[in-house]
Chain A
Amino acid sequence: MNRFEYVRAGTVSEAVAALAADPSARFIAGGTNLVDLMKYNVERPSRLVDISRLPLDAIEERDGGLRIGALVPNATLAYDERVRARYPLLGDALLAGASAQLRNAASTGGNLNQRTRCYYFYDEGTPCNKRQPGSGCPAIGGVNRIHAIFGTSAHCIATHPSDMCVALAALDATVRVEGPKGERSIAFSDYHRLPGDDPQRDTTLEPGEIVLSVDLPERGFAERYTYLKLRDRLSYAFALVSVAAALDLDGDTIREARLALGGVAHKPWRNREAEALLKGKPATRDSFQAAADLIVREAQPQSQNGFKIELARRAIVRGLEQAAAGTPQSSSDKRIQ
């Protein structure tokens, strides 16, 4: 780990000022991703701004929804009674990620801003356009079994590793941030970005901006939802493909469908055309297969991850079936019903 200055922020404005004063400074909260990256020399901040004592650790009622402070630990959020009752999709997605120890330490804001687990990004001995812009992407044509099948570019095929964010995308959350130019809100689907020509940027956060909260709208789809995560082992592994599915049914007819995929793109992947296709259709396997076919039509395999396309197609159908039946995937019994 490199040597760095340490600043303990007492207020949000103090934190923003401490970061703005130094372009290579980083905020630190739970540290579960940043400290790890520092040990690999992937992150070498000149200054760490400790935001862990800021008053951003509450979950509050707001406009019929919930405002989740950026410092609420992942475990606290997952087990919050309001989340369990009204947003179980979010709770289940959180519990599908990481380990109990990591969820106890990791913050909501940090989960949003975690970096990809691409092997090449982590290995400073190899090129990586995300770590060192312009150096190249050895994952393309290299070891890319875990990489993206949607929204890739010629410069980066990394995935966003979060489970929580897949649920937040499906729930249409909003990210509230503050920076040198003041406060603003970002729709969740605009918060993370595709790699394009500048894969070093994971999000649309401007320099010096800090996440204040994640705001959930009123609708939580608590009746019909699932978070189905497929991975190489049954626990404590990143998703190869995950599906956050939520349905609103009128009898057997779909009034509204939400569908977000994890493990397949540089951001939680939502296809609104497929969601629109489901609207007004019967909640049957045929309808779900049509939506899945439409989504995977856009998929582009790399040399080793072609299996993800069929896996995603089947996971979408199974996820929608679980949601329609009101039988969400269990996070402890891993049999997929």
Chain B
Amino acid sequence: MLIESGSPVAADQRIDISLTINGETRALQVAPWTTLLDLLRERLDLTGTKKGCDHGQCGACTVLVNGTRVNSCLVLAVMKDGAEITTVEGLASLQGPGSNALHPLQEAFIEHDAFQCGYCTPGQLCSSVGLLNEGHAKSREEIREAMSGNICRCGAYTNIVDAIEDVMQAGGSR
């Protein structure tokens, strides 16, 4: 059903929302308790975004909402009606419509071997893109601090920072 300001939507109703995901606008019906993470993975088969802790502690679920990095596990999809979502599957499309080129950060992660098992990598990548969009981190120490919301159990941190620093020094492209 359509949402109207101030009118409660009963718990058994599905709510009509619109999200632009990786450049494609989609009309969706969601239950109010559906997180953005579950919507992406379970309904839309965008399984690049990972569910690690599901409590906002590990960063594996990081996506970009209107260009800003957030933990998708703590976002109720219904609250983001009208937003633009970018997941790891859509990073290439940030290079231009229909582009199949990898994002410079994806290239840099490969070049610097910035992963081992890869489970945290989609979150690390989206978080890094968010970090570059924010433009606050400049030094290596600041990159480390600004990436502290992304845990890597394999301990690839050094190479992740190398990759981000590399792209940052190249002005966001390589």
| Chain A residues close to B by CB (< 8 Å) | 1-11, 14, 17-18, 28, 31-32, 35-36, 38-39, 47-48, 50, 52, 75, 79, 98-102, 104-105, 235-236, 331-333
Contact = CB atoms under 8 A, between A and B. Distances in A.
Contact of A8 (B5, B73, B142, B150): B5
B148 A235 contact: yes
B9 A332 contact: no
B59 interface: yes
A241 B134 CA distance: 29
Contacts, number: 114
**Main SS of the interface on chain A?**
mixed
Given A32-B74, A100-B69, A332-B144, A7 B62 contact: no
Contacts of B146: 100
A104 B5 contact: no
A8 B3 contact: yes
24 contacts: A4-B11, A4-B32, A6-B78, A9-B5, A10-B5, A18-B6, A18-B8, A39-B54, A39-B55, A47-B8, A52-B79, A79-B134, A98-B149, A99-B150, A100-B69, A100-B134, A101-B149, A102-B56, A102-B71, A104-B69, A104-B130, A235-B144, A235-B145, A332-B145
Nearest to B72: A101
Interface residues of B, number: 44
A229 to B, nearest CB: 12
Contacts of B5: 8-11, 14
A98 B74 CA distance: 14
Contacts of A79: 134, 136
Given A18-B6, A104-B69, A332-B144, A3 B149 contact: no
A48 B134 contact: no
A8 B146 CA distance: 32
A17 B5 CA distance: 12
B33 A4 contact: yes
A36 B62 CA distance: 15
Given A35-B35, A333-B141, A100 B8 contact: no
Contacts of B9: 5-7
Most B Cβ at <10 Å: residue of A3, A14, A98: A3
Given A9-B6, A100-B69, A31 B79 contact: yes
Given A100-B130, A105-B70, A105-B74, 4 more contacts: A3-B12, A39-B55, A100-B127, A332-B139
A332 B141 contact: yes
Contact of B7 (A7, A35, A48): A7
